[in-house]
Amino acid sequence: MIGRLNHIAIAVPDLTAATALYRDTLGAKVSAPIAQPEHGVTVVFVELSNTKVELLHPLGDKSPIAGFLERNPAGGIHHVCYEVADILAARDKLRADGARVLGDGEPKIGAHGLPVLFLHPKDFYGTLVEIEQTAAAAA
């Protein structure tokens, strides 16, 4: 059901330092910081040849990653995102197999302008999982 790994999201306490680490030490291509107030984060995209890493930093008072950084002050992997061809079919299959879909279960438009859902980390070995419906996964 799942297709490619779309991205790994890493919450970081210092976006400038994390960007420099990926750009200068690891030699990766990194974007400028992009504020996404509707998602409560500022993101730096790290472009790899086969996937992306997204460096996330809280933006605003109600950031969904603020609590994560309080529990993990040095930063950490926040979620992984897998591509699916049909997000509603994926949701229904996951639910039928006992996985918990977060929120009201209706896909939201995510950081890439595509429908996403999040799955409970306790059902995926301690890892928050995002699924994203992409045209590539449907092809």
Residue 55 sits in the site that holds Co ion (CB under 5 A): no
Return the number of the residue (19 or 130) whose C-beta is nearest Co ion. Answer: 130
Convert residues 70-89 into a mask of x (bound to Co ion by CB under 5 A) and - (unbound).
-----------x--------
Return the number of the residue (9 or 53) whose C-beta is nearest Co ion. Answer: 9
Please tell me whether residue 121 adopts helix, strand or coil conformation: helix
Cα(88)–Cα(33) distance, rounded to whole angstroms?
31
Ordered alpha helix ranges (H), 15-108: 15-20, 66-71, 87-96
Residue 137 sits in the site that holds Co ion (CB under 5 A): no
Residue 79 Cβ vs Co ion, minimum distance, rounded to whole Å: 6
- The residue within the footprint of Co ion, chosen from 130, 131, 133, 134 (CB under 5 A), is 130
Q: What is the amino acid identity at position 43? A: V
**The two structure tokens encoding residue 109:** 């438009």
DSSP string, 79-96: EEEEEES-HHHHHHHHHH
Choose, from 47, 83, 106, 130, the residue flagged as catalytic.
130
CB-hemisphere CA count at 13 Å for 63?
23
* Annotated catalytic residue 54: no
Residue 9 Cβ vs Co ion, minimum distance, rounded to whole Å: 5
Residue 9 sits in the site that holds Co ion (CB under 5 A): yes
CB-hemisphere CA count at 13 Å for 130?
22
Q: Which residues are catalytic?
A: 130
Residues within the interface to Co ion (CB under 5 A): 9, 81, 130
